[in-house]
Every structure is written in C-alpha cells, then in structure tokens.
Amino acid sequence: MVEKINRIILSFVFFISVAVFSARLSYANGLMLINDTQTQKYLAHVVKPLFNAAKINFNENKIMIVGDDSLNAFVSEGNYLFVNTGTLISIDNTNELSGILAHETGHIMGGHIVRQKLKMQKIQYAMIGSMLAAGAAAVTTGRGDAAMAVILGSQSSALNSMLHHQVEEERSADESAVKLLNATKQSAKGLQRFMEKIRKHNTLSGIEEDAYFTTHPMTFERISHFKEVAKSNNFSQHNPLDSELKMVKAKISAFLGNRERVWRVYPKSATTDDAVYAHAVLYFRDGDIGKAMQSIDILLKKHPQNPYFHELKGQFLFETGKVKASIQSYRESLKLLDAPLTKLSLAHAVLESSPDKASLNEAITLLKQAQVTYPTPFGWELLSRAYGEADKTAESYYAAAEYNYSVDNLKSAKQQLIYAQKSNPDKTLSLKISDLKMRIKEEEN
C-alpha cells in the first residue's frame, strides 16, 4: 500500500471482543494480516457496491484480512477495511457480511474516524490537566487521596463523554447500514442474524454487557432494531457470491483452524468442491503431500479455469521443494487472473530456480508490477535480491531501503539510501531516492 498501514491511529469495531496462506504474513499494530487473493477478491465484490452507494472511493488494496478468531470488522484512517477470519468463518451467507460491512461503511460516511481521533486528543489533554490539578491539590492539602480523587474524577468524566459519543456513532452507523442495504437492494436480515450470533457468543463466553460502560448500543437493542427494519426491507438474502464464500470458508478453516475440528466439518467422505478444497489443505498441513496433490488435481480436472486452484497447487509444489514445477502452476494461475500476489509467488519461485539472465529480468518485471499495485515488505525484499543478482547495485540498495522503511527500520533505510546514492543511480532512481528520504524525514518528525 502507498500508505503505511502499520500506523493505524484509530479503528471502529463492529463487535468489540474481550499470503497466500503461507508464511508471508505481515503485522500492523499487533494484527496478523493474511495475504490471500481469493479472500480479498471475495471481500472486494461484497464491499464495492456499498462504497459506491456511499460515494466513497473504492480501493481493493485497502481491504485487509486479519488472522483472528473473534467476530470483528473495523475501519481505520485512510478508509482501510479490516475483516477478521473469525467473522468469515462464522457467517452463513454473504448477506450477513454485507450487513457487517455496510455498518463499517457507515462509520466512514459519518466521518467518525477523524472525530474520534480528535476526541481522543481531548481526553489526553484532560488527563494531563487533571494530573497538574492533582499535583496542586496534593501541595495545598498535603493529602495523596485528594490528588487521586481529582485524577479519577476528571478521567471518569472524559471517559464517559467518549463512550457516549461512541455509542451514538454506532447507532448512526447502524442507520447508515440500513440505508446502504436498501440502496443496494440487499436484505437487512443478515445483520439481524449476525447480531444474534454476537449475543450467543457473549453468553457462551460469559461476557455481560453493561449499559453504563460500553462503546456500542446494547446487543438486544440492536437485534430489536434490525428485526423491525427487516419488516419493511423485503429484499432477498440470496447472493451469487454465496458459492464463493463456501470456498473461502473452507480455505481459511483448513489453513488456520484446529485440524480435528475442521475434519469434522469437512469429513473425508464429503465430495463437494469446498470439502475437497479443505481436504487438500488439511492433507498438506498433515504432511501427506500425495493426497494433497490428488485433492487439488480433482478440483483442477473439474475447474481447469479456476486461478486459485492453480495458485494453491503452485504453493504446494514450491513449499515441498518442487520449485521448477511450481513455476508452471503459478504461470497458469496468472494467465487466468492478473493478481499481484501471484506475480510475487511466481517471481519468488523463479529466483529460487537458479535463474538465467532472461528469467532474472522476468522476475524483476513481475516484482515491479506487483509493488506498484500491491506493495509489500516481502516484495521489496525479493526485488532487492533480484536487482543484486542482476548486478544492479543502486536499485538493489534502493529496494532494500524501501523494505526497511516498510518495516519501520528507518535507521537501516537511511543507510541503504546512502549506499544507493554512492552507486551511480540514474535520474529516475535518484528521484525515487529523494522521495523516500522525504518520507523518512516525515516519519521522524
């Protein structure tokens, strides 16, 4: 991404709870972010109509998949949208997800992110003021308990004000969600059903809601509201994306879930596409590569034009040491779907296959294209390596600087830029170096 998502200032959660699916995970403020083209494409198809209805600029690359079991979705500055894998696994159909994402879109429409940021700053100022006042109270009275009373009184007032505003903004986002669902001709029943799941989750988890200390309207209140809305909202809950959701759920569950539990959901006797998809991943996780390949080949025989099956086969081959064979699978996937993460995987496989000069140039081209569309730290790391092997020293140092910048290692990024400048960069690269210097300076300030 052009913006650095590891600097999330504030996020709104729908429900506040107490890589290709490989090792290529990234982190933002402690969040485990998963790179998976299939899941991201599915989410993009769900959220794009909502953003269009809300007149919000849509950027597929700002959709983030969070590896977390909780029922959660949220937005941050820059209109980034985050969806937990727990949410995707728990929903029964796309209509539920549409309701959740309509709610999050409502936060963006209402300008809540910026307002909450300003309120947080006011609370910080109030806390500083209360500490100064507490110091004065301690001096004049000689009593520490008086100082503590001043601090607690001020902080409690500020916190209650903040919570009140958040509850009102959640209500506003709920209202916006209903309007967006109506505008896109989607049922509101999915939103009601998901809230019922949250209530059940709270009950099973022993979470008791307190109307005095909460960031959201009470769950029973929201369920009642959406149930009433659904009476006049007569749109169908069916969505053509439901079949794709089944595949996404199978893939996520198989990669991230408890293997024994997932096998119960997708027993070996099951022959549906989503079950066989899960079997392929589960066998792979269990180290039974023969059965994993057999399962993915069954899917490819039925659906030879599915890019995600070719991509997964490429991953299986690559991660079991069959690097050259993986290249062909990645190429097939890329022919069917122009995806930056597939370009990244293909370039990685090429670099691991002792490439000749032509193959090396191909890898560089693929990585440059991927980084323009969907920049990742791993992409910069590979690009630095590819340039180095191609004896393009200045470019290699520059890519290394971009990598270090993307992982917040500003000291190393600056050092790599010094090396890049000493390596006779051309005019275009010199401009890129200057631009990165400015970004680093802004970060430091």
The residue out of 207, 237, 257 marking a domain boundary is: 257
pLDDT tens column, 417-436: 999 999 999 999 999 999 99
Q: Is residue 380 part of a domain?
A: no
Per-residue pLDDT at 11:
30
Q: Which residue has the higher pLDDT, 81 or 126?
A: 81
313 in any annotated domain: no
- For the full predicted model, state whether its pTM sits above 0.85: no
The last residue of a domain, from among 237, 257, 277: 257
Indicate if 74 and 220 belong to the same structural domain: yes
The C-alpha atoms of residue 198 and residue 202 are separated, in whole angstroms, by 6
Taking phi over 0 as left and psi of -120 to 50 as alpha, with beta for the rest, 79 belongs to left
Winning range, highest mean pLDDT, from 129-138, 139-148, 268-277, 436-445: 268-277
Mean pLDDT calculated for residue range 27-31: 59
Residues ≥6 apart with Cβ < 8 Å to 282:
254, 259, 262, 263, 266
* Structural domain contains residue 377: no
Q: Edge-to-edge strands of the sheet including 80-84?
A: 11-13, 73-76, 80-84, 63-66, 31-34, 25-28
What average pLDDT score do residues 192-220 get?
A: 63
- Give the model's pLDDT for residue 438: 96
- Report the greatest alpha carbon distance in the chain: 83
Contact in structure between 360 and 334 (CB atoms under 8 Å): no
Tokens representing 238 are: 């069916």
| Residue range 310-332: mean pLDDT, rounded | 97
Residue 121, pLDDT > 70, answer no
- Asked if residue 241 is part of any domain, the answer here is yes
Give me the percent of the chain exceeding a pLDDT of 70: 76
Task: Decide if 428 is inside a domain.
Answer: yes
Confirm whether 125 is domain-assigned.
yes
In 3D, which of 26, 27, 9, 40 has the Cα closest to residue 373? 40
The predicted pLDDT at position 10 comes to 28
Query: In this structure, is residue 295 part of a structural domain?
Result: no
Judge whether 379 lies within some domain.
Answer: no
Mean pLDDT score, 184-205: 81
Mean residue pLDDT of the chain comes to 82
Residue 164 pLDDT > 80, yes or no?
A: no
Domains held by the chain: number: 2
Domain final residue pick, 257, 284, 313: 257
Q: Kindly indicate the confidence band of residue 383, based on its pLDDT and cuts at 50, 70 and 90.
A: very high
Domain assignment of residue 428, given as a range = 392-445
Cα 14 to Cα 334: distance, rounded to the nearest angstrom: 35
- Which pLDDT value is given to residue 369? 97
- In this predicted structure, what is the pLDDT of residue 234? 82
Least confident piece of the model among 213-222, 278-287, 299-308:
213-222
State yes or no: pLDDT of 279 exceeds 50: yes
Residue range 376-386: average pLDDT? 96
pLDDT bracket for residue 222 (50, 70, 90) = confident
